[in-house]
Structure 1
Amino acid sequence: MKALLVIDYTNDFIAEDGALPVGEPGRAIEQAIVSRIREFDAAKAMIVFATDVHEKNDANHPEAKLFPPHNIRGTKGRALFGEVGTLYDQIKDKNHVHWLDKTRYSAFVGTNLDLLLRENGVTEVHLTGDVTDICVLHTAIYAYSLGYKLVIYKDAVASFDPAGHEWALRHFKGVLGAEIR
């Protein structure tokens, strides 16, 4: 069985006025993510919206030294961006759709994602979202280490760093054995 992970497609990462925007590359992948969500929803395959969350004024979080405050719990910056958010609102009550709060780059660290996937017989993880060379990469590394087959949609991942994006795509394929579509 397969599951789709939609990683960090929030206003803070995608909107022009977001706290830590990927920029135009992030907005350019919106329709590809929407297409994947619709495809997995039609098949009643698992969809997980793995979404970064931070607490206001949390100076002890490791990212506090690296990035400005972003995806603060309860803010509009943490809401899913654009049509992805609209589509989530339409399907969120279905049994195969899940919301996952994550506080680290990888959607597996400090969450029940591995348990959720295994309880549902998932062996293949399909990744979309941002940032290709940060959260998508770290999630892919953990998934690989846990024995999941990986599929990365090249048209549905983005980064603010074009060189990092390209490096991550090569790493997914050459080091993690991922299928790049």
Structure 2
Amino acid sequence: MTTSALIVIDMLNPYDHPDAGPLTSSVEHVITPLRRLLDSAEGRGDVHVLYVNDNHGDFSADRRDLVQRALRGKRPDLVEPIVPPEDLDLLAKVRHSVFYGTPLEYLLSREGVEEVVLTGQVTEQCVLYSALDAYVRHFKIKVVRDAVAHIHPDLGDAALRMMDLNMRAEIVTADQCF
């Protein structure tokens, strides 16, 4: 039975929005640690790896659509290294939290997950709100500091501090995670 879930949040991004500039500057620094973390989780029987990604308002979008839209976007170099293999779960979300309007809670329950490991973007938005929703659902939480990207560095740091203090999240690096 799986005890941890490594959740990759919103990394399939076309980077065609107003905050893309500062966000991509941060994403450039998290791709390598995130790839390292994904590689270390691969094949472990105690870690369920999954992606939860914004559907960008396209409610008919499936896995292929989300991946292709991101790869055709302005920064395919930030997407290619972390495109999920076909055998990984990919859930589409419609708002900030990975739990809101998705079957994630049911999937985690079915898999026996006790701990969520949050990675992806944006630290001060979707990662923060996902951590709060995980906390109120009584999951242990890890946030991988070098595998989450921010738009605003000060708000990203404040969000990490809030997750640590208010949600009892363990803030770790990719190399400390598993």
Pairwise same-fold verdict (TM > 0.5): yes
CA–CA separation in structure 2 for the residues paired with 1:29 and 1:35: 10
The residue number in structure 2 matching 1:28 is 29
Per-residue deviation at 1:75? 7.8
The residue number in structure 1 matching 2:55 is 53
The residue number in structure 2 matching 1:170 is 161
For this pair of structures, how many residues does the alignment match?
A: 155
The answer as to whether partners of 2:57 and 2:94 remain within 8 angstroms in 1 is no
Pairwise CA RMSD: 1.9
The residue number in structure 1 matching 2:74 is none
TM value normalised by structure 2: 0.80
Q: Secondary structure at the match of 2:33?
A: helix
Per-residue deviation at 1:118? 0.5
Instruction: Map 1:57-136 to 2 at 5 A.
Output: 76-79=68-71, 81-85=79-83, 88-89=84-85, 92-93=86-87, 97-136=88-127
Q: Which deviates further from its counterpart, 42-51 or 148-157? A: 42-51
CA–CA separation in structure 1 for the residues paired with 2:57 and 2:95: 12
The answer as to whether partners of 1:108 and 1:139 remain within 8 angstroms in 2 is yes
The residue number in structure 1 matching 2:13 is 11
The residue number in structure 2 matching 1:61 is none
CA–CA separation in structure 1 for the residues paired with 2:158 and 2:131: 14
The answer as to whether partners of 1:126 and 1:150 remain within 8 angstroms in 2 is yes
What is the percent sequence identity of the aligned residues?
30
TM value normalised by structure 1: 0.79
The answer as to whether partners of 2:7 and 2:117 remain within 8 angstroms in 1 is yes
CA–CA separation in structure 1 for the residues paired with 2:55 and 2:101: 12
The answer as to whether partners of 1:123 and 1:149 remain within 8 angstroms in 2 is yes
Q: Secondary structure at the match of 2:34?
A: helix
The answer as to whether partners of 1:11 and 1:76 remain within 8 angstroms in 2 is no
Counterpart residue identity of residue 33, structure 1: L
Unaligned 5+ segments in structure 1 are: 59-72
